[in-house]
Amino acid sequence: MSFSSAVVFLWLASSRNRLRLQLQRLRRPRYLVGALVGLGYIYSIFLRRLEFGGALSSVPPGVRLFAELSLVLSALVTVFSAWALGPDRPSLTFTETEVVQLFPAPVTRSSLLHYKLVRGVLGAAVGALFASLFVGRLVSPAPGLFFLGAFLSLGTLYLHATAASFMRTRWAEAWGTRGLVARWGVLGCVLAAVGLAAYAALEAHPFPRTLSIPGVLRNWVQAVVASPGLSAVLWPARLLVAPALAQDSSAFLSAVPPVLGLAVAHYVWVRLAEVPFEESAVTQAETRTRERSQRASGGVAKGRAISSRKAPFRLSARGRPEVALIWKNLITRRRMAGGVASVLASLLLGCAIVAMMGESRFFTDTRRVLGPLGVSLAAMMAVVGPSVFRMDLRMDLPKLDLLRALPLAGWQVVGAELAASALMVGLLQLGLLTVGLLSGPGAEDPWLLTWWWPGGVALGVLLPSVSLAGLFVQNAAVVLFPAWVPADRTGSARGIEALGQRLLTLMGSLVVSLVGLLPAALAGAVVGFPLWSSLDVWALPLGAAAASAVLAGEVALGVLLLGRAFEHLDVSEDRPE
């Protein structure tokens, strides 16, 4: 059997077996329901977009221009990245299985190269399919032609990136640092030329003073990209995407030959520039496998380094054992810092939104803006926090063997796992509320001034409990539906049915959260309303305290029940030994 026929067999057999496995899984009701929901989602989100003919006429010209420019700029950025970014090594990537199975096989390097090129071109076809779904309807009335054109463009870009990586490898090996300097020298010249062209275009066509007249911005963009310098810069990319943008068959046929020629030239270039890629492929495969296994065991995400910050407190060997789990999770929080980065990003985003809304006071009277901002963010954390802070069972469940072997009852493990995330979210909320309340409401409205402190105190009492309840629901989902909500980060379950399962779980979590909040709201009303006549707005914190107590009670009861479920959790259902 030749290598090519072996590869065809491999792909066909793998596809067939995967499909068979997925169909077999549909015998189980949860996968069947998941598949139906997933299919419905895919239809509503993606397939309805295939209504090309009628939709095109309703697309505003500005959107079409934006889509066209996006394609052109994407092509240019891809070419630039191929020469500027990443290390100087062949870009061909092989999985560890491919390395183990194919590299020792009696196969020439050229065959391996073609194997990867064919895979890359198939990847380009998938990319073209998605581009057809998302962008195609905006720029072309013929989906088939758009797909073919996009496939040709993406395939050529893939060949370009491969050839560029080979050239960079050659230069690095032959000239070392001098090669790097020469490459960046050329890139610098290209960038300078592009900058000059952009400058000249903007000089000739200054940004319009007012954008209130419809079409002004679009006309300006069209004029800028049509200027001699920039049109020269954009010409190669426009040539490449021309078949995809063709409006009819004749335009397509006239646009295809240059791109086909370009693709063939790139293929010849790849063959001529070919360098040994085995060593680099082995190293990359090992790195990816290591990263994947780390993620599968609840380890660090790709590219995230662990800082060596100190433990939050000294853990004595005496005392309640579950504190060790809280201690461990707080260390994790300090050392991964991802959640803090997310919170800071949210803060920055909030500031940007305020600035974009034209709230100039943000810059001139920061203190007055901080109040509403702090309170809003604290409230927002009740929704966002449980998803951002995940140092609980969602992180540790891949290490179920380890947790189950601990001398702790199920409720102790569940409670301790919840505690660290709840502490972090709660403290953050209280901090934001403190800053917000001390800064003041930011307006002299008497109604707001009356409600500011009682409302703030009520939020301080209530929000940490709401966050705790949110955290509990998310952790409960992982324990109760381990096959639906994979705790590991590898996304082990794939396919439409897995997508549907996750959607159902998300909806279920929302429903459970809302149902859980009802008794708390009732308790708050029962306590707050009778006190209103005597305490006025200050009845609010007391009502909130009652609601918070009910929520805490619900979570405590839930922890006990979830602890029992945790003790009987058997994730081996889908992977018997």
Does 405 interact with other proteins (rule: CB under 8 A)?
yes
Least distance to other proteins, CB of residue 408, Å: 6
Q: Among 544, 518, 521, which Cα is nearest to 531's?
A: 544
Does 576 interact with other proteins (rule: CB under 8 A)?
yes
Measuring CA to CA, how many Å separate 308 from each of 324, 332, 334, 336? 19, 10, 9, 9
Q: Of 66-74, 217-225, 397-405, 446-454, which part binds other proteins (CB under 8 A)?
A: 397-405
Q: 393 and 414 in contact (C-beta within 8 Å)?
A: yes
Name which of 401 and 444 has its Cβ closer to other proteins: 401
* Mask for 325-344, x = binds other proteins (CB under 8 A): --xx--xx--xx--------
By CB under 8 A, name the one of 185, 258, 321, 431 that touches other proteins: 321
Of the CA atoms within 13 Å of residue 54, those in its CB half-sphere come to: 4
Q: Of 35-43, 304-312, 449-457, 542-550, which part binds other proteins (CB under 8 A)?
A: 304-312
Name which of 299 and 386 has its Cβ closer to other proteins: 299
By CB under 8 A, name the one of 33, 180, 239, 406 that touches other proteins: 406
Does 324 interact with other proteins (rule: CB under 8 A)?
yes
Give the length of the chain.
577
Does 1 interact with other proteins (rule: CB under 8 A)?
no
By CB under 8 A, name the one of 249, 287, 450, 572 that touches other proteins: 572
Does 306 interact with other proteins (rule: CB under 8 A)?
yes
Q: Among 567, 555, 565, 564, which Cα is nearest to 403's?
A: 567
Does 323 interact with other proteins (rule: CB under 8 A)?
yes
Does 464 interact with other proteins (rule: CB under 8 A)?
no
Report CA dihedral (332, 333, 334, 340) to the nearest 10 degrees.
150
Name which of 347 and 571 has its Cβ closer to other proteins: 571
Least distance to other proteins, CB of residue 407, Å: 4
Of the CA atoms within 13 Å of residue 44, those in its CB half-sphere come to: 7
Residues 6+ apart with CB under 8 A from 115: 3, 7, 102
Opening angle at CA 371, ends 367 and 375, nearest 5: 155
User: If binding means CB under 8 A, how many residues of this protein chain bind other proteins?
Assistant: 40
Name which of 409 and 537 has its Cβ closer to other proteins: 409
CB atoms closer than 10 angstroms to residue 397: 22
Least distance to other proteins, CB of residue 409, Å: 5
Does 421 interact with other proteins (rule: CB under 8 A)?
no
Instruction: Specify the amino acid at residue 50.
Output: L
* Mask for 282-301, x = binds other proteins (CB under 8 A): ------------x--xxxx-
Q: Of 312-320, 381-389, 443-451, 455-463, which part binds other proteins (CB under 8 A)?
A: 312-320
Name which of 298 and 524 has its Cβ closer to other proteins: 298
Name which of 299 and 528 has its Cβ closer to other proteins: 299
Q: Which tokens belong to 287?
A: 């790195």
Does 26 interact with other proteins (rule: CB under 8 A)?
no
Least distance to other proteins, CB of residue 400, Å: 7
Measuring CA to CA, how many Å separate 298 from each of 194, 362, 398, 407, 488? 45, 41, 6, 21, 6
Burial of 371 (0-12, 13-18, 19+ CB in 10 A): buried
Name which of 312 and 372 has its Cβ closer to other proteins: 312
List binders of other proteins among 108-127 (CB under 8 A).
Answer: none
DSSP string, 325-350: HHHHHHHHHHHH-HHHHHHHHHHHHH
Name which of 119 and 328 has its Cβ closer to other proteins: 328
Rg (CA), the chain: 29
* Mask for 529-548, x = binds other proteins (CB under 8 A): --------------------
CB atoms closer than 10 angstroms to residue 331: 18
DSSP string, 506-566: HHHHHHHHHHHHHHHHHHHHHHHHHHHHHHGGGHHHHHHHHHHHHHHHHHHHHHHHHHHHH
Name which of 362 and 566 has its Cβ closer to other proteins: 566
Name which of 395 and 527 has its Cβ closer to other proteins: 395
Measuring CA to CA, how many Å separate 417 from each of 393, 461, 475? 6, 22, 9
Name which of 221 and 409 has its Cβ closer to other proteins: 409
Does 482 interact with other proteins (rule: CB under 8 A)?
no
By CB under 8 A, name the one of 194, 399, 480, 509 that touches other proteins: 399
Name which of 2 and 308 has its Cβ closer to other proteins: 308
Strand, helix or coil for residue 104: coil
- Gap between the Cα atoms of 239 and 255, Å rounded: 8
By CB under 8 A, name the one of 401, 444, 447, 534 that touches other proteins: 401
Name which of 230 and 331 has its Cβ closer to other proteins: 331
Name which of 402 and 506 has its Cβ closer to other proteins: 402
CB atoms closer than 10 angstroms to residue 352: 11
By CB under 8 A, name the one of 5, 210, 316, 533 that touches other proteins: 316
By CB under 8 A, name the one of 16, 302, 404, 494 that touches other proteins: 404
- Gap between the Cα atoms of 51 and 79, Å rounded: 32
Does 568 interact with other proteins (rule: CB under 8 A)?
yes
Rounded to 10°, the helix 496-535/446-480 angle is: 140
Strand, helix or coil for residue 458: helix
Least distance to other proteins, CB of residue 297, Å: 6
The alpha helices in 135-227, defined as continuous H runs, are 137-139, 143-175, 177-204, 216-225
If you ran DSSP here, which 8-state letter would residue 60 be given? -
Instruction: State the residues that interact with other proteins by CB under 8 A.
Output: 294, 297-300, 306, 308, 311, 315-319, 321, 323-324, 327-328, 331-332, 335-336, 396, 399-402, 404-409, 567-568, 570, 572-573, 576-577
